Amino acid sequence: MPSTFMGISVAGSALQAQQTAMSVVGHNVANANNPNFHRQEAVFGARSAWPYLGANGSRVGQLGQGIDVTTVRRYQDQFVQNRLTDSRSALGQWQTGKGMLDRVVGVLNEPSDQALNNDLNQFWNAWQQLSLSPQNVPARNNLLEYAGNLAGSFNRLSTQMETMGRQGEQDLSGRVETINTLASRIAEVNGQIQQTLSSGAAPNDLLDTRDALLSNLAQLTDVTVRGSGGAEDIVSIGGHALVQGIHAEAVEVGKNASGQTAIIWKGDGSEATISGGEVGGLLDLTRNVLPSYRAGLDQVAGALISTVNGLHQSGYGMDHSTGRAFFTGSAAADIAVNPQLKGNPAAVAASSNGSAGDAGIALAIANAKTQSALNGATLGQAYASLVARIGSDAASATNRLETQTQVHQQLTTQQQSVSGVSLDEEMTKMIQFQQSYAASARVMNVMDEMIGTLVDRLGVGGR
Amino acid sequence: MRVTNQMLASQMTANVTGSASRMYRLQNQVASGKKITQASDDPLGASQSMNLRSSVSSVEQYQRNTADAKARLATVDASLNNLTRALQESKRLALAGSTGTVDDTQRKAYAEQLDQQIAYVIQEANTSYKDGKLFSGGATGASPIGGNPSLGTPYTYQGDDKVAQVQVNDTTTLEVGVTAKQLLNFDGATDPAVPDTLTVLTNLRDALKANDTGKTQAAMKQLESGLQNVILQRGKMGARGQQVELYASRLDDTKLALNAQVSNIEDVDLAEAMVQLQTEQNAYQASLLATARMSQSSLADYLK
């Protein structure tokens, strides 16, 4: 025989369960716009049934004893979550790449009438103009002016690219600090997750915090997470563990074996293999991309210097000087008009034989414009193809960023489809639980009346 | 698929911002008229445009060169015209002085007038242009004519053989000028059998003064040869002027064609861009409308 008050306790368990479920709904609604939140659900389980004995002592069935919230479930798809982490790394890498390359393209400012290509054309034209009246001092001064502009443009481009590289390296150390902070935070949260688990509770919100930290980490570097999404997962960079349980490693900016800027593990001093994320992007830009652009610029400047100097040294100035270099320096960073010529326009060697009216050298230098100087291309063409290379790198970074943004959007949609909060759904549940609560209360009420019948109406003895 | 509120919100935001950024790009293109404003807009087009701009810049310089060449040739032509007249006048004076009807006084007067023509010839041969002498080749610092027979030194040519050159396109350089050596047959430059024209004129004057008919006749023959040479050189320079003119008009055509190519690469097709802009505006408005509709409704509205 069940206890007289069993009905009340059954209804009581229902009231409690619906109320708990309603709290979970409230938590979901509260976090509907929290991007790191995974929706939760109160999972109901019937209490273990009680065997019901018939009048003759035979078992006739089981009596349910009500309901409990057995656990609060957290909705997540680990597969999508991992792909989202990878996608975040690629996103960080291309955001950095696009930002830097856009700046390089902006500095080049081609095609326009205010950039190096135009300075180069004006330089050649100034030699042509000098060839028309080789003794003309204003024409010589004009040439020196344009040559100075051209050298200045080379210097400026080279310096600006160098500065960008240095800024990139500075950015690296800031981001590496953030990696270390995130790693130790993850280890800390792992500890809290372990404690919660050992007390038998579901650490749902701590797991959200952990996923958010991981996502921020992935923005900075490519990470691999192995495990089932719990506190014991190994978070590693390039095969080297960064966080394992409550233990976190740290990295720092240093130099690798070949002397390049690299990210080094503080623990064993080995180089961290980072190819993605903002740090991966910055490493590629500062180590490979920017130096290759500067080398391309140096090639053009070097060929210009040797071509012009070779011709100029064979000519004669109005002051009969000969053998003088027109440009000093050997690369884009240090090309300059020979100081011996500055303020001394008569020393510009326009003449091929020493007679003042001859313009053989001026014409020869002017014609170097159309002669191949670098791998079969003229200097102008070589520079234009360098600009095209940089432009197409920037364009492809933009494309890849756009593609990656779309991929990320799709993955986020998939993730949200599983883990996101739908207010309509929560409202529906809210009505469901509200009505169940009301009904359970009604059951308790009736049960109370039934017991009341027994107590109050059966007689007046004992009153 | 389960659709959540954040999904809706982020999808709507992505749609609206995507559409807005495409519209921004098109608006920029329409407003600036350019589809390439930086190298990453179209890397290949940008490099083509840079090379074309270099060619345009060269053509503009060649145009300045041809203008300079025309001015130089005009000065040369004026000088040669004066030179021709001086030699013709000398011929007339010699002819008049060598007839039997003139007396000694008149002949001396003709000889003195001839002296003046010699001075004219020297003056024209020493014409200055810009910063130097027009007819002394590359040695523009020096007067082409040296020497003074009255002081015992014969006339000499002090310049060199390098004539001014002007480049009119990537591959063609024209000589725009002539040296006094060629004009006045110094060192037998044009006719080895005849002395230089100034010496011829001096001989003629001396023969007139001395009333030496034989020498006068011989000198007059040589003078005629000198005159024909100047006329020939003037004709050559005239032809060179026409050549420069021809190259100049070709340069004008080339520049037009190059500019058209630059425009083709850099400039936006306005009609097409406007149509695209209109289409994008419609899409933008539609996504705004959808966003507004979707964000209005919720189950909560229908609950008591």
Confidence at B290, pLDDT banded by 50, 70, 90: confident
Hey, are the CB atoms on B43 and A388 less than 8 Å from each other? yes
- CA atoms within a 13 Å half-sphere pointing along the CA-CB vector of B59: 19
Chain A CB contacts of B64 under 8 Å are: 128-129, 132
Going by C-beta distance under 8 Å and a sequence separation of 6 or more, which residues neighbour residue A271? Answer: A256, A257, A262, A263, A264, A265
Least confident of A51-65, A70-84, A269-283, B270-284: A51-65
Residue B296, pLDDT score: 73
Residues B4, A420: C-beta atoms closer than 8 Å: yes
What one-character DSSP code corresponds to residue A374?
A: B
Within an 8 Å CB–CB cutoff, is residue B36 touching chain A?
A: yes
Contact criterion met (CB below 8 Å) for A413 and B2: no
Using pLDDT thresholds of 50, 70 and 90, give the confidence band for residue B75: very high
DSSP A83-110: HHHHHHHHHHHHHHHHHHHHHHHHHH--
Q: pLDDT by residue (tens digit) across B161-189?
A: 889 899 999 999 999 999 999 999 999 88
Chain B 258-277, residues with CB within 8 Å of chain A CB atoms: 266
- Give the whole-number percent of chain A exceeding pLDDT 90: 79
Residues A389, A391, A395, A401: is their CA dihedral positive or negative?
A: positive
In this prediction, residue B301 carries a pLDDT of 83
Average confidence score pLDDT of chain A: 92
- 8 Å CB contact of B298 and A423: yes
Instruction: Give one DSSP letter per residue of A379-424, joined into a string.
Output: HHHHHHHHHHHHHHHHHHHHHHHHHHHHHHHHHHHHHHHHHSPPHH
Strands (E) across B105-202 are located at 128-129, 132-133, 145-148, 153-157, 165-167, 173-175
Q: What is the pLDDT of residue B275?
A: 94
Across the interface, of A387, A389, A427, the residue whose CB is closest to B300 is: A427
Determine whether the interchain pair A409/B14 forms a contact, defined as Cβ–Cβ distance below 8 Å: yes
Higher-confidence residue of A228 and B2: namely B2
Min Cα–Cα distance to chain A from B86, Å: 27
Residue A285 pLDDT > 80: yes
Shortest CB distance from B167 goes to which of A363, A416, A421?
A363
DSSP E strand stretches across B47-181:
128-129, 132-133, 145-148, 153-157, 165-167, 173-175
Q: Is B64 on the interface with A (CB under 8 A)?
A: yes
Residue A463's pLDDT band, with cuts at 50, 70 and 90, is low
- DSSP, collapsed to helix, strand or coil, labels residue B133 as strand
Q: Which among A142, A120, A127, A129 is positioned nearest to A335, based on CA atoms?
A: A120
**What is the reported pLDDT for A6?**
84
Give the pLDDT score at A43.
95
CA-based nearest distance B251→chain A, Å: 15
List Cα–Cα distances, B226 to A169, B57, B78, B154, B230, in angstroms. 80, 44, 18, 18, 6
Q: Provide the strand spans (E) within A30-180.
A: 40-46, 50-53, 59-63, 67-74
pLDDT of res. A165: 93
pLDDT for res B279 = 94
How far are the Cα atoms of A122, A211, B135, B151 from residue B142, in angstroms, in the given order?
A: 32, 88, 10, 20
User: Can you give the pLDDT at residue B105?
Assistant: 86
CA-CA distances (angstroms) from residue A230 to A84, A211, A234, A246?
Answer: 17, 10, 9, 12
Q: For position A354, what pLDDT does the model report?
A: 85
- pLDDT value at A254 more than 80: yes
Min Cα distance A195 → chain B (Å) is 32
B3 touching chain A per CB within 8 A: yes
Nearest partner of A41 among A90, A78, A76, judged by Cα: A76
* Residue located via tokens 């320079």: B237
- Confirm whether the ipTM is greater than 0.90: no
> Which residues touch B89 (CB under 8 Å, ≥6 apart)?
B117
Rounded Cα distance, A416 and A430, in Å = 21
- Torsion angles phi and psi, residue B236, rounded to 5: -60, -45
pLDDT mean over A102-123: 93
Mean pLDDT of A192-213: 92
Question: What does the pLDDT read at residue A454?
Answer: 82
Q: Do B162 and A353 touch (CB under 8 A)?
A: yes
| pLDDT tens, position by position, A387-408 | 999 999 999 999 999 999 999 9
| CA pair distance B72, A180, nearest whole angstrom | 76
Closest-CA residue to B175 (of A125, A140, A363, A353): A363
- Residue B99 DSSP class: S
Contact B138 A355 (CB under 8 A): yes
Would you state the pLDDT for residue A229?
67
Mean pLDDT of chain B: 91
**CA distance linking residue A335 with residue A330, whole number of Å:** 6
- A292 CA to centre of own chain: 23
CA atoms within 13 A on the CB side of A268: 6
What tens digit of pLDDT does each residue of A299-323 get?
999 999 999 999 999 999 998 899 9
The confidence score (pLDDT) of residue A55 equals 75
Q: Which residues contact A174 (CB under 8 A, 6 or more apart)?
A: none
A contacts of B41 (beta carbons < 8 Å): 391, 395
Burial class for A85, CB neighbours closer than 10 Å (0-12, 13-18, 19+): buried
- The more confident residue out of A405 and A355 is A405
Name the token pair of A339.
């100081």
Per-residue pLDDT tens over the stretch B16-58: 998 998 999 899 899 989 999 889 999 999 999 999 999 999 9
Q: What's the burial of B105, exposed, middle or buried (CB within 10 Å: 0-12/13-18/19+)? A: exposed
Q: Do B39 and A110 touch (CB under 8 A)?
A: yes
User: Which residue of A lies nearest to B168 if distances are taken between CA atoms?
Assistant: A128
Are residues A391 and B137, on separate chains, in Cβ contact within 8 Å? no
Residue A51 is predicted with a pLDDT of 83
The model carries a pTM of 0.85
